[in-house]
Amino acid sequence: TDRKKLHTAPVGQVFRLRPFHLLVATGGGYAGYRKYEDYKLEQLEKKGVEVPVKLASDWEVALYKSVPTRLLSRAWGRLNQVELPTWLRKPIYSLYIWTFGVNMKEAAVEDLHHYRNLSEFFRRKLKPQARPVCCRHSVISPSDGKILNFGQVKNCEVEQVKGVTYSLESFLGPHICREELSFSQAPAGNSFQQQLVTKEGNELYHCVIYLAPGDYHCFHSPTDWRVSHRRHFPGSLMSVNPGVARWIKELFCHNERVVLTGDWKHGFFSLTAVGATNVGSIRIYFDQDLHTNSPSYSKGSYNDFSFISNNKEGIPMRKGEHLGEFNLGSTIVLIFEAPKDFKFHLKAGQKIRFGEALGSL
């Protein structure tokens, strides 16, 4: 009789899980499992073992997309803005440098105490001589990174990695009307790919560059060209590392991205910055109206902005000029028109640095 009363809740209430929490827990656990699988595949590739392509099923993609990566990326962005105490900066940045192999000798400011928060450290500038821009080739790498794929676009499909493709039209969106483009176009062809080619005898080429977390996070103009149009696709923020790109078909079409379209001396030219987990922020220096990873967005939508209507000549960009930045690693996709004798000077899987040659005529 002297014992205290133990108040208990019904078993059904104790184990009640809300659908959102269940999705987060399940999706997060599965994403962790996929990370482990990706790591094993990378180790096999390093040993020279050819890994067969195994694409995710629709339910696996839906499960991955159930993880609130957009919310997590915004939270990560807020955390990056928090000013660190001076005494804590060197230990945190040193751990990051050791983990991802960052070369701080290339940084314009090598003193780690100079960077007030993680965001400043991620967006660090390089010494002017650290990345000489190749003058002998017509197209250079816009960023540091790893070459995932390159070559001619065939049958309106683009390879994100070897053996895994995505639709050119789904990636770029509907064709921009002729009135918004400042250069002459050839008669429209039957396919979306043919409509992009403006000069007879030219071909459409692509190149995919993956930026790892330890890479230099700014990107630059890959050639002399003129930007006439911007298209922003809100979307998911799934990881874009090579393992996931090999697993999810049309991964780049699912993710948030900013497509810059214009022309260079050989016709159509585009550069697309693809967002990823913890990379909700994509910044284009000359576009102050662009706001990525917004809390309110419509699934499957996109918004356009024309630089021709606001600036008669569009936005001229010089080869090597600063163009934009990510908050962490992500992906750059180039799709452009060039004569048939255009040659890439690349190997799939190679590391490349901003300023080095991609290809030339």
For this structure, is 144 an active site residue?
Answer: yes
Residue 122: name the closest of 12, 279, 17 by CA: 279
Q: Which domain holds residue 116?
A: 68-123
Does 10 map to a domain? Answer: no
Active site residue 119: no
Q: Are 259 and 176 in contact (CB under 8 A)?
A: no
Report pLDDT for 1: 47
Structural domain includes residue 62: no
Q: Which of 217, 220, 229, 266 is catalytic?
A: 220
Distances (CA, A) of 30 to 42, 57, 263, 299, 343: 18, 13, 42, 23, 41
Residue 230: the pLDDT is: 94
Same domain, 83 and 159: no
Question: Can you count the helices (H) and strands (E) in the chain?
Answer: 11, 17
Give the pLDDT confidence of 321-335 residue by residue, as tens digits: 999 988 776 899 999
Q: Which of 66, 73, 143, 144 is catalytic?
A: 144
Tell whether 145 and 118 lie within a shared domain: no
What is residue 297's predicted lDDT score, i.e. its pLDDT? 66
Q: Are residues 321 and 345 in the same domain?
A: yes
Strand pairing report for 257-264 and 282-284: unpaired
And the tokens for 269?
């030219």
Q: Is 141 a catalytic residue?
A: no
| Cβ–Cβ < 8 Å for 144, 211 | yes
What local confidence, expressed as pLDDT, does residue 16 receive?
A: 52
Mean pLDDT by 10 residues, the chain (361 residues): 51 48 52 59 62 75 80 79 90 90 90 89 85 90 92 87 83 72 52 87 93 88 94 85 82 89 94 81 89 73 83 85 85 94 89 92 82
Is residue 128 in some structural domain?
A: no
The pLDDT of residue 163 is 74
Determine, yes or no, domain membership for 265: yes
**339 vs 361: CA distance, rounded Å:** 8
Q: Domain count of the chain? A: 2
DSSP 250-300: THHHHB-EEEEEEEETTEEEEEEEEP-TT---EEETT-TT---S-SS--TT
Q: What is the structure's pLDDT at 260?
A: 95
